[in-house]
Amino acid sequence: MTPPEDVSAILSGLLRFGINPGLERVEAALSALDHPERGPLTFQIVGTNGKGSTASFIESILRHAGYRTGRFTSPHLSDIRERIAISGELLSPEAFSELVREVAHLNSSRQLNLTYFEFLTVMAHLAFRRADVNCVVLEAGMGGRWDATTVSDPIVTVLTGVSLDHEEVLGPGIQRIFEEKVAVGRRGRPFVATLADPVLRAAFLDRSRSKGFLPVLSGRDFEGKWEGGDPERAGVTSSAGRRPLWYRGRWGGRRFSPALTATYQAGNMAAAVAALEWSHLPISASAFREGIASAVHPGRFETVSRDPLVLLDGAHNPEAMERLVQALLDRFGSNASIGWFMAVHADKNWQEMLTLVHHASTSSGAFFFPDEAVAHSQTGGGWASAQEMENHIRGAWGKSGPWVERGEREELLRKALRWSRESSQRVLVVTGSLYLVGAVRPYFIPPSAPVIFSGNERDRPLSEDA
């Protein structure tokens, strides 16, 4: 029997439930707590990629508009407390731990069998009610129809895009994944969607007629585009030299200067602004401007070192990798030599991810594949073999291909950093999984408080012993 005070053991024990689609368990838990999810004005965000960044933009704008906000995102990088924020601040370790114990008692006494994600969703709603928040931003974990966040009643829903991922749960094919995500549209409420595929755009409009939601579609009702080149490519790093982004939407055109300047953030920022424009909440132009300028999202095209130059980006599927590659080309040009410190879950299409890197590369660069990724796998399908990834690289590039190394993560990271220091044209990119990013980030940015628990739904990050 798990001692009720052992927070780490409680959370670790939940991992055995894995992913179990359905809303009945979380609905029962929230009902027992007198429905803390009801009351705040809520935004729900679904999509394959870009959910977390979009949530950060929306929450930051709302906070600068004077609202008391709650934000629930996943996965976390290094500490589980990152998932729940009140007006941009994490809960204290003591407050978070007390919530864990309280929900664990409820889960046990009612025999609810909440999954890890459901448990944290219930915790978030309880924390938001007790903090008296009036606006909540919820990032769905996976899919939409059966996601625990779908028990809420959002005033606006956002779909950041659809691509192939989590097919083992959501079903095979892009159309099945699309149906799972678009099912969260609420009758009479705005549904903001970023979709490029003409077939999916047409399907979205068709579902709006049958389900009764109000479609707000990228390219038709709103858009965001970067102006000029990337200022960091020209050596400009001050806030005054931020990359300007032009937005067109419900209230006409305006210009913003985001702190998040990766190429792929244009669509995320545009979706966030559109969601707030269609929410009918009173938000000033200055709140939009200041909220976008101050929104941050660690582990997404994040510079954690400049000497040597090290970027972290949790690109974990082909679409995300394609966006990352384009962002790197925009930032550094085709002459940069990229070092890829990379681990990918085995159920992702890592072969296509590496092929995208190959086709975009004009410099041989280097690859560093941590071996122990497989050894630290827990419940969720494991990690792609470092040896298989090396074989794929050598098969694609041939004898004249890039430098490839495998090894234990800490020593391999030291080698990768030594490689990157040898030339000012070299950039080290840690990518392939947010769990890997979360394991590496503390080497550059130590946590501000002791880590309560670092486990994620699928497995534990590479930094934690099995």
Question: With b meaning 16 or more CB within 10 Å and e meaning fewer, what string describes 134-150?
Answer: ebbbbbbbbbbbbbbbb
At residue 341 the predicted structure's pLDDT band, cuts being 50, 70 and 90, is very high
At residue 364 the predicted structure's pLDDT band, cuts being 50, 70 and 90, is low
Q: How many CA atoms lie within 13 A of 133 on its CB side?
A: 29
**19-23, 160-164, 400-404: which has the highest mean pLDDT?**
400-404
DSSP string computed for 172-204: SSHHHHHHHHHTTPPTTSEEEE----HHHHHHH
pLDDT value of position 371: 85
**pLDDT tens string 50-109:** 999 999 999 999 999 999 999 999 999 999 999 999 999 999 999 999 999 999 999 999
pLDDT value of position 174: 82
Is pLDDT at 436 greater than 80 in this prediction?
yes
Q: What is the mean pLDDT of the chain?
A: 88
Name the pTM for this structure: 0.91
> Higher model confidence: residue 451 or residue 379?
451
Is pLDDT at 18 greater than 80 in this prediction?
no
At residue 451 the predicted structure's pLDDT band, cuts being 50, 70 and 90, is confident
Which sequence spans correspond to the domains of the chain? 7-294, 302-444
How far apart, in whole angstroms, are the C-alpha atoms of residue 182 and residue 457?
23
Q: Residue 78 gets which letter from DSSP?
A: S
pLDDT value of position 142: 77
Is pLDDT at 233 greater than 50 in this prediction?
yes
Is pLDDT at 400 greater than 80 in this prediction?
no
Do 69 and 93 touch, CB atoms closer than 8 A? no
* pLDDT over 70, % of the chain: 88
Is pLDDT at 354 greater than 60 in this prediction?
yes
pLDDT value of position 352: 93
Give the mean model confidence (pLDDT) for residues 149-156.
Answer: 97
At residue 391 the predicted structure's pLDDT band, cuts being 50, 70 and 90, is very high
At residue 169 the predicted structure's pLDDT band, cuts being 50, 70 and 90, is very low
Tokens of 214: 């109000």
Give the mean model confidence (pLDDT) for residues 148-161.
Answer: 96
How far apart, in whole angstroms, are the C-alpha atoms of residue 130 and residue 437?
32
Is pLDDT at 187 greater than 60 in this prediction?
yes
Q: Which residues make beta-bridge pairs with 226?
A: 245
Question: With b meaning 16 or more CB within 10 Å and e meaning fewer, what string describes 267-287?
Answer: bbbbbbbbbbbbbebebeeeb
pLDDT value of position 73: 96
* pLDDT over 90, % of the chain: 72
Q: Which residues make beta-bridge pairs with 252?
A: 249
CATH fold of the domain at 302-444 = Protein-Tyrosine Phosphatase; Chain A (3.90.190)
> Higher model confidence: residue 242 or residue 424?
424
pLDDT value of position 230: 66
* Lowest mean per-residue pLDDT among 237-246, 419-428, 430-439: 237-246
Is pLDDT at 33 greater than 50 in this prediction?
yes
pLDDT value of position 240: 44
Is pLDDT at 242 greater than 80 in this prediction?
no
Q: Residue 364 gets which letter from DSSP?
A: -
**pLDDT tens string 283-338:** 999 999 999 999 999 999 999 999 999 999 999 899 999 999 999 999 998 888 99
pLDDT value of position 376: 42
pLDDT value of position 19: 67
> Higher model confidence: residue 431 or residue 162?
431
Does the structural domain 7-294 have CATH classification 3.40.50.300?
no
How far apart, in whole angstroms, are the C-alpha atoms of residue 350 and residue 346?
7
Give the mean model confidence (pLDDT) for residues 207-226.
Answer: 97
